[in-house]
Chain A
């Protein structure tokens, strides 16, 4: 069964460094999302992406964050200058509503990348 993959599974970085988190969505999917979960908190929406542009972004997704789909298969999240508070589990998800419509669309999640900022 197709699945969403994410690399690396764990990334440790120093504050102020740039990190790129990588995701390979399911191949025929059209909608892509990044979420994060800080330890002990709710899963938070970061950004959604469709047709090579951002559809929606949260207040968290400031100028330090960017997303890209560089080659038609990877979907990346870049954090330009990491802060301690960026330490979290980052999840990628993808979906394809097909003919069903977005109201019944199912998102498929990757296993996450645990980012630790020291």
Chain B
């Protein structure tokens, strides 16, 4: 069993604040890291698939970085909006990509 941890568990920010949270994973045998955004009562939606150490990916106001040597990825949201309120999940595949290990998620609440 691979241990994938996310912190913080929850976050409350004001509209306009920038925020970031962390996903930690085993640094040995890295294959990829997935970030998902999951709004209540909807399907988890893929944000990023990160594969290379030093990767930085961006989608609008959301970006992610990857450090495979130390085993962490950061997700950043610039200028948070109420519609960014969701749970952000990371997932770590095993070597053959047939099984994924999920973190417990960071629940973000953005107040108007």
Chain A interfacial positions (CB closer than 8 Å to B): 3-4, 33, 35, 41-45, 48, 50, 55-56, 58, 91, 102-112
Q: What's the least CB distance linking B45 to chain A, in Å?
A: 8
CA distance A44 to B94 in the complex (A): 13
If over half of B's interface residues share one DSSP class (helix, strand or loop), that class is named, otherwise mixed; here it is loop
| Bound complex: CA A40 to CA B36 (Å) | 18
B41 partner, pick from A56, A106, A111, beta carbons under 8 A: A111
Interface size on B, residues (CB 8 A): 25
Give chain B residues whose Cβ lies under 8 Å from the Cβ of A45.
99-102
Partner of A3, one of B36, B43, B98: B43
B3 to chain A, nearest CB (A): 10
Smallest CB gap from B44: residue in A? A109
Partner of A105, one of B42, B97, B105: B97
